[in-house]
Chains A and B, each alone.
Chain A
């Protein structure tokens, strides 16, 4: 009887559930927005495209500091990252990227936005153009890293009939992807605002800058790819025929000149009295910045903040018990030329072998390109209006060195116990100390609290800026044989750096162009792509443990290990040298291997899983 009662109760309950009650199974979800709700409201569509903007791919960025230590620009002063300097080879999969999920969502956005007739037409066109810009940009990123890729321009849907063949596309030619990017830029331009004050959304200026960059990359791959015939595939998925170089260079120059001649942007020059400070401010000044074209923006107290300053602030002035991670290398620091347009490694020793004595540590770096102090925190200079404390120890009269192994450590010198090493180090193998003698300055936020874990920073990440457009124009003009135009653009960028003696047309060489990009665009995520497209990566990172080059002006100088330059004080009372400064070139003990960029690294490995799922995708060469 009890069981019967139970069953009756159970049936009643079940019937109660399936009783004709439309509301129960047919409720509007309260945790997601449906398509028909989104596509009639401009504000909601904006938040959808904001998400797509947020997924814009970057390789080296201020949110990913350690990648800047992957090559020769910097040393990674953090225990967990020393391995970067102990590995010789880069894996074939390094810098790989294959995000067709993102592309699908962009395609879905484009498809739905095209049908959204409840939006104002001009708003809809702008959203559409932005999504198409972002899609073209992903393909640009893919082609930079992987070579030609399958070009999917509509959302693909599987029919569950067991044959995915209809979804499988072969890789396009490398040139075809570049052509697509260039063509898309022309197509989306009319619908985008021509407003230089918009920095974090697509504008006409951004489209022109992207077009110039993409065309320049394609052109240099066509031209310099001829020097590495092994880095190509017979179907053109990798490698661009040399005959196409001129056309791409012309397209790059035309796009760059269209942006330059529009007059919308200008080089940042708010602080002409201090060009180094001016160059540093270019990256953190977010108020009416005339140079910046496109950024990833951040905002305090919004949850969207970045911690570049937190992880890289000088240890002695740090607002937390950390900082000092990225140490620019002497390789980079010696590349900044002297104000008379000549190059010279730093002079540490006189011809006889004795040290060269400097009154102040910053004297070593005097008379150099203003961008040096704008990019790097040098010994003896200031950050947040306080002096950094970078010095490695005392050198006594007999040549012996007195130092300590903790920040600001003390020892007995001349009978007194005094500080014998800076509060920023350099102390070899001590993380957060300036193990190369330098800290990074670019993108560091001078605002109070930027180095605190609880506050962090809202300095933006600049993806496109006007100086790069000028350099792109200069490179394209140079390659087309128009050295006068090239010199004109180069000199604009150089004048802002305090190099007031203009380069004559005859002085513009390929090495000059390579060098100018290296010093202007350091720590901005250009290095790898530049070295790849010039096919210089396997030359400069050749795997041989050579000494630091004495020819920083030469594009082909090998630079496989990061070096440092440590300042020491002289302790020698009663002699004229007492209290003066000398420098020693060192190689941090954690730098044990010479980087080797293999031919198979030019285009990243496409995973076995990808090629299994789509057998039409062929492997990249030399892997």
Chain B
């Protein structure tokens, strides 16, 4: 009786090895870029898909793009297909040079750093923040990147202020908007907003400007700027 118990324990201990895989350890990092410059987006709004064939079920690994356009994912070595889904992100995707489709073949053998080049509708340049008391003012330049038949108009420009470094339509304590039609000079856009008192008091706030493009859901942003009040 005692023997059989012993055997069962041995069996239980031995069988553990079979279903213990090593954790994925290959890092895949990079940024969504336009001509080498990162495309800034909302927190948790934009993602792309990685597909790995050879498994029973086909389910994509969704890789979230961070606010500053960067992404990182821990994966197993292997061959992946990278897909930027249509309608995701404030940009048009460039067809893959090799396959001429929306799918890029991605070989992972050890850590890899790769920027994904896209074609944004607009870019926000030279965002500068200043503060006067609790009023935060921003100036920036809006550059239209796509000017051909695929061009789209600006629906509105938004100034967002938040107490943490996450600043977008969901995470903000103060906003100011300007309709696309009210933009006099895209080369010189100025917005200001009064920041409400925050409790507990903090010395600085985080600011960025976003542009909403007509018919495109995800907004494109300037980098986050920390501003002392």
Residues of A within 8 A of B (CB): 88-89, 228, 230, 543-545, 593, 596, 598-600, 608-609, 611-612, 615, 621-623
Between A and B, 8 residue pairs with Cβ closer than 8 Å are: A88-B170, A89-B170, A230-B87, A544-B169, A544-B177, A598-B217, A612-B58, A621-B87
Q: Which of B55-98 contact A (CB under 8 A)?
A: 57-60, 85-88
Q: Which residues of B contact A598 (CB under 8 A)?
A: 217
Q: How far, in whole Å, are A521 and B169 apart by their CA atoms in the complex?
A: 32
Q: A623–B217 contact, CB under 8 A? A: no
Residue of A230, A544, A623 near B215 (CB, 8 A) is: A230
CB-nearest residue of chain B to A598: B217
The smallest C-beta distance from B171 to any residue of chain A, in angstroms, reads 10
Name the distance in Å between B55's Cβ and chain A's nearest Cβ: 10
Task: Report yes or no: A608 in contact with B217, Cβ–Cβ below 8 A.
Answer: no
Query: Which parts of B208-223 form the interface with A (CB within 8 Å)?
Result: 215, 217
Distance (whole angstroms) from the CB of B3 to the closest CB of chain A: 23
Q: Are A622 and B58 in contact (CB-based, < 8 A)?
A: no
A598-B217, A622-B88, A623-B85 given. 5 additional CB < 8 A pairs? A228-B215, A543-B169, A545-B175, A600-B87, A609-B57
Q: Can you list, as one digit per residue, whether each of B147-188 has a CB less than 8 Å from chain A (1) or not (0)?
A: 000000000000000000000011000010100000000000
Closest 8 CB pairs of A and B: A622-B87, A612-B57, A608-B59, A88-B170, A599-B217, A612-B58, A598-B217, A543-B169
**In the complex, which residue of chain A has the Cβ closest to the Cβ of B88?**
A622
Question: In the complex, what residues of B have CB within 8 A of residue A600's CB?
Answer: 87, 217
Taking CB atoms, residues of chain B closer than 8 Å to A622 are 86-88, 217
Expressed in whole angstroms, the Cα–Cα distance for A544 and B210 within the complex equals 13
CB closest chain-B residue, reference A89? B170
Number of interface residues of B (CB under 8 A): 14
Partner pick for B57 among A228, A593, A608, A623, CB 8 A cutoff: A608
- Taking each of B57, B86, B169, which has the highest tally of chain A beta carbons within 10 Å of its own beta carbon? B169
B175 x A621 contact (CB < 8 A): no
Residues of B within 8 A of A (CB): 57-60, 85-88, 169-170, 175, 177, 215, 217
List residues of chain B with CB within 8 A of the CB of A230.
87, 215
CB distance from A287 to the nearest CB of B (A): 50
What is the bound-complex CA distance between A228 and B215, given in angstroms? 8
Which B residues touch A596, using CB under 8 A?
169
Tell me how far the C-beta of A90 lies from the nearest C-beta in chain B, rounded to whole angstroms: 13
A206 and B177 alpha carbons, distance in the complex (Å):
49
* Contact assessment for A593 and B59 in the assembled complex, using a CB-CB cutoff below 8 Å: no
The answer to whether A612 and B169 touch across the interface, beta carbons within 8 angstroms, is no
Q: Residue of B at shortest CB range from A228?
A: B215
Residue on A nearest B45 in the bound complex, by CB: A89
Bound Cα distance from A609 to B56, whole angstroms: 11
Given contacts A88-B170, A230-B215, A593-B170, contact A599 B87 (CB under 8 A): yes
CA of A225 to CA of B171, assembled, Å = 31
B217 and A621 contacting across the interface, CB-CB below 8 Å: no
Chain A, Cβ-Cβ closest to B60: A608
Complex Cα distance, B31 from A123, in Å, reads: 67
How far in angstroms is the closest Cβ of chain B from A558?
12
Closest to B56 in A: A612
B177's nearest neighbour on chain A, judged by CB, is A544
Complexed CA–CA distance, A608 and B55 (Å): 14
- What is the CA–CA distance of A379 and B170 in the complex, to the nearest angstrom? 34
Chain B contacts for A228, CB-based, 8 A: 215
Provide the bound-state CA to CA distance between A89 and B43, in Å: 13
Chain A residues with Cβ below 8 Å from B85 are 623
Is there an interface contact between B87 and A612, defined as CB atoms closer than 8 Å?
no
A175 → B minimal CB distance (Å): 22
Closest Cβ of chain B to A604, distance in Å, is 15
Which B residue's beta carbon lies closest to that of A608? Answer: B59
Query: Please, which residues of chain B bring their CB within 8 A of the CB of A88?
Result: 169-170
- B residues in contact with A545, CB < 8 Å: 175
* CA–CA, A608 and B57, complex, Å: 9
Taken together as a complex, chains A and B put the C-alpha atoms of A228 and B57 apart, in Å, by 33
Nearest-neighbour CB distance to chain A for B101, whole angstroms, equals: 15
Least Cβ distance of A162 to chain B in Å?
14
